[in-house]
């Protein structure tokens, strides 16, 4: 493949028919908009906003007046024009470029961390699929798509490898969790070594890698206008293989994906087994991205698209109905009757009201809500998980009203979910006997550390994107300023510990690549909100689920 093809506009019958697929270039001459607080941004308004404010020479966030119930004001320290580079930006770019990995002279990814202080390398010298996503977005936003194209093709090549773990063969569509490039200076050869879970801690295959790959393929296509990669036979086959794993029919009565613990960013035992929100949101987003890129020039393509559409309808209905929690829904669950039978049941999953943890009642504000961590028979995991909720907003799995409610929750519970370092990966922490049972006494996931209530700077780009989409940039601005007060000084740690995220994580690596890239992506999106278009999907007005209440089988 020619690495310079990435910026060419390729004419093709394959298109990306998302409702958010506006041609941003046509909007450059539009006048500045007066954005109201409750309005959800689409690509058109994002482009108009960024161009209009740039012409006016104004700070797009100092001029924004949130008003209403949030009570958030831009701090006095924010007097610098938002388009003036922060001193951290140069250091971040320098560090990001140092993390580049080359295969036969071509950049193919970024390693997880460059921590010169740590003697243990473990797998931090590998290119992780999920870790590379913010790096890829940073390069795309900076007009450097070649590395993203190379990464997509290289991981697609690895997908075709036979994958075995202890004599058991994995599904053909499984994407690697990570890969490593071995350089032989004597023979002058480069060799790829992939990990599909057989070397991972816990030996769990990554369910999210395939989803992130599809999402990144769309981001590349949206950013460059190059349709040739997405419509190539190899990429079309790769998408179908990933989707075949997820859309296969079986015994499950739910449209959500059944997953093991440790299958995603929360890659250790944390009680997320079942139907974790992170996987369901990524699944939904990947389905929508694939729907926009799959060709229908044969029977197989048409059948795949039909299956995606049906699954999207069922999944959106299920998630919006059963995973959503706000004050009213919490009150309804609190009053549930149990042991209900037949299609008239209200408590469909037979959740025992006494199983609702005490912290939820104080945590839930009158205005606000979120998608809970997990829903399955007789079990509701009421924990907050940041990645799943942010992706739900970006993919429009959340309705506009639900998206605004998630933002209301973040504002209302700022200390709990943001604290002194954005952003809590989960809330609250599991402690004492429950920690022993759920985590297996995991010494890394002690309370308020790592995945058990730790604060992860990489999530900054996701919350920033969600804030921009929902018209709440002042929240992102405040979160970024918190990160800027410490991230560089602390050496770009992987995560922070403590209830407020005050302490550098006890086992956190320094110069963690996705902490660096997440900051850069957040900054670039705030400076030019039109960048959001490559990672955001607007609500599909035609995708209204027509689903009747489930009925029992009768003879």
Q: Which has more confidence, 198 or 475?
A: 475
What pLDDT, on the 0 to 100 scale, is given for residue 163?
A: 84
DSSP letter string, 223-287: HH---TTTTSHHHHHHHHHHHHHHH---S--SSSPPB-TTSSSS-S-SS--BS-HHHHHHHHHHH
List, in order, residues 6 or more apart from 534 with CB less than 8 Å away.
137, 140, 141, 218, 219, 222, 223
C-alpha–C-alpha distance, residues 364 and 412, integer Å = 9
The answer to whether residues 485 and 87 touch, using CB atoms and an 8 Å cutoff, is: no
Cβ-based burial of 85 (10 A; exposed 0-12, middle 13-18, buried ≥19): exposed
For 110, the 3-state DSSP assignment is strand
224-263 confidence digits (pLDDT tens): 999 999 999 999 999 999 999 999 888 999 999 999 999 9
End-to-end CA distance of the chain: 59
The answer to whether residues 479 and 485 touch, using CB atoms and an 8 Å cutoff, is: no
Choose the weakest-confidence range: 53-62, 101-110, 346-355, 508-517.
53-62
Among 455, 448, 447, 442, which Cα is nearest to 493's? 455
Residue listed under structure tokens 């394959």: 14
Q: What percent of the chain has pLDDT over 70?
A: 82
What pLDDT, on the 0 to 100 scale, is given for residue 544?
A: 55
What pLDDT, on the 0 to 100 scale, is given for residue 3?
A: 42
C-alpha–C-alpha distance, residues 174 and 238, integer Å = 10
Angle made by CA atoms 37, 39, 44, in degrees to the nearest 5: 125
Q: What b/e sequence results for 57-74 when a residue is b if at least 16 CB atoms lie within 10 Å of its CB, and e otherwise?
A: ebbbbeebebeeebebeb
On the question of pLDDT at 2 being above 70, the answer is no
Continuous H helices in 319-385: 327-334, 358-363
For residues 459-488, average pLDDT = 98
Measured in degrees and rounded to the nearest 5, phi and psi for residue 212 equal: -60, -35
163-191 confidence digits (pLDDT tens): 888 878 888 999 999 999 999 999 999 99
C-alpha–C-alpha distance, residues 180 and 182, integer Å = 6
Tokens of 209: 């890698």
What pLDDT, on the 0 to 100 scale, is given for residue 10?
A: 37
Domains of the chain: 101-534 (1.50.10.10)
User: In the beta sheet, which residues pair with residue 379?
Assistant: 376
385-436 confidence digits (pLDDT tens): 999 999 999 999 999 999 999 999 999 999 999 999 999 999 999 999 999 9
Measured in degrees and rounded to the nearest 5, phi and psi for residue 29 equal: -95, 5
SS3 for 185-220 is CCCCEEEEEEECCCCCCCCCCCCHHHHHHHHHHHHH
What value does the CA radius of gyration of the chain take, rounded to a whole number of Å?
23
What pLDDT, on the 0 to 100 scale, is given for residue 520?
A: 98
What pLDDT, on the 0 to 100 scale, is given for residue 123?
A: 86
On the question of pLDDT at 543 being above 80, the answer is no
C-alpha–C-alpha distance, residues 454 and 461, integer Å = 17
On the question of pLDDT at 104 being above 90, the answer is yes
DSSP conformational letter for 366: S
Tokens of 251: 């015994």
What pLDDT, on the 0 to 100 scale, is given for residue 82?
A: 46
Q: What b/e sequence results for 37-52 when a residue is b if at least 16 CB atoms lie within 10 Å of its CB, and e otherwise?
A: beebbbbbbbbbbbbb
User: In Å, how far are 252, 263, 273, 310 from 258, measured between CA atoms?
Assistant: 8, 11, 8, 18
Among 388, 412, 439, which Cα is nearest to 257's? 388
On the question of pLDDT at 75 being above 50, the answer is no
Task: For the beta carbon of residue 486, count every other beta carbon within 10 angstroms.
Answer: 17
For residues 76-97, average pLDDT = 74
Measured in degrees and rounded to the nearest 5, phi and psi for residue 2 equal: -80, 120
Task: Give CA 27 to chain center in angstroms.
Answer: 28
Q: Which has more confidence, 128 or 540?
A: 128
What pLDDT, on the 0 to 100 scale, is given for residue 119?
A: 65
Identify which of 7-11, 330-334, 550-554 has the greatest average pLDDT. Answer: 330-334
Choose the weakest-confidence range: 121-130, 283-292, 370-379.
121-130
The answer to whether residues 255 and 197 touch, using CB atoms and an 8 Å cutoff, is: no
On the question of pLDDT at 62 being above 70, the answer is no
Evaluated on CA atoms 289, 50, 481, 117, the torsion sign reads positive
Give the H or E element holding residue 370.
strand 369-371
Summary mean pLDDT of the chain: 86
What pLDDT, on the 0 to 100 scale, is given for residue 157?
A: 96
Tokens of 19: 């409702």
For residues 258-280, average pLDDT = 97
Question: Beta strand pairing status for 374-376 and 379-381?
Answer: antiparallel
What pLDDT, on the 0 to 100 scale, is given for residue 7?
A: 39
On the question of pLDDT at 51 being above 70, the answer is no
Tokens of 292: 């926009």
């Amino acid at each position: 493949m020619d690495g310079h093809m990435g910026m060419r506009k390729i004419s093709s019958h394959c298109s990306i028919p998302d409702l958010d697929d506006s041609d941003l270039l046509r909007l450059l001459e539009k006048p500045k908009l007066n954005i109201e607080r409750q309005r959800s941004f689409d690509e058109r308004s994002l482009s108009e906003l960024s161009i209009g404010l740039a012409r006016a020479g104004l700070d797009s966030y100092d001029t924004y007046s949130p008003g209403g119930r949030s009570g958030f004001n831009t701090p006095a320290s924010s007097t610098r024009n938002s388009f003036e580079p922060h001193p951290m930006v140069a250091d971040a770019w320098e560090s990001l470029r140092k993390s580049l990995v080359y295969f036969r002279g071509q950049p193919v990814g970024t390693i997880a961390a460059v921590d010169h202080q740590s003697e243990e390398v473990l797998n931090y010298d590998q290119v992780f699929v999920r870790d590379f996503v913010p790096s890829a977005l940073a390069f795309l936003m900076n007009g450097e798509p070649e590395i993203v194209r190379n990464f997509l093709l290289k991981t697609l090549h690895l997908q075709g490898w036979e994958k075995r773990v202890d004599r058991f063969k994995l599904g053909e569509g499984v994407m690697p969790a990570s890969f490593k490039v071995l350089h032989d200076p004597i023979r002058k050869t480069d060799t790829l070594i992939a990990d599909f879970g057989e070397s991972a801690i816990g030996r769990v295959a990554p369910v999210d890698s395939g989803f992130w790959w599809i999402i990144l393929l769309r981001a590349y296509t949206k950013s460059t206008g190059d349709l040739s990669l997405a419509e190539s036979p190899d990429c079309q086959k790769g998408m179908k293989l990933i989707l075949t794993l997820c859309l296969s029919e079986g015994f499950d009565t739910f449209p959500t994906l059944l997953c093991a613990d440790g299958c995603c960013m929360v890659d250790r035992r944390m009680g997320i087994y079942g139907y974790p929100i992170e996987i369901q949101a990524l699944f939904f987003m990947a389905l929508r991205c694939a729907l926009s890129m799959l060709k229908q020039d044969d029977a197989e393509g048409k059948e795949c698209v039909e299956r995606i559409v049906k699954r999207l309808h069922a999944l959106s209905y299920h998630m919006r109905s059963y995973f959503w929690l706000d004050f009213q829904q919490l009150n309804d669950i609190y009053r549930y009757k149990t042991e209900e039978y037949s299609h008239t049941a209200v408590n469909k999953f037979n959740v025992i009201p006494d199983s609702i943890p005490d912290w939820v009642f104080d945590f839930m504000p009158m205005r606000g809500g979120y998608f809970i961590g997990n829903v399955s028979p007789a079990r509701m995991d009421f924990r907050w998980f940041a990645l799943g909720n942010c992706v739900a907003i970006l993919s429009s799995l959340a309705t506009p009203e639900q998206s605004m409610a998630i933002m209301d929750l973040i504002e209302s519970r700022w200390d709990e979910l943001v604290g002194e370092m954005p952003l809590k990966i989960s809330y609250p922490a599991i402690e004492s006997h429950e920690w022993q049972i759920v985590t297996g006494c995991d010494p890394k996931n002690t309370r308020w550390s790592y995945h058990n209530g730790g604060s992860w700077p990489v999530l900054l780009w996701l919350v920033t994107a969600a804030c921009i989409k929902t018209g709440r940039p002042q929240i992102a601005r405040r979160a970024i300023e918190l990160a800027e007060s410490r991230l560089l000084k602390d050496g770009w740690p992987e995560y922070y510990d403590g209830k407020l995220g005050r302490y550098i994580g006890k086992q956190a690596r320094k110069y963690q690549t996705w902490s660096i890239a997440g900051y850069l992506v957040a900054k670039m999106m705030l400076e030019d909100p039109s960048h959001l278009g490559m990672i955001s999907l607007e609500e599909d007005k035609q995708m209204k689920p027509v689903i009747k209440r489930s009925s029992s089988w009768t003879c």
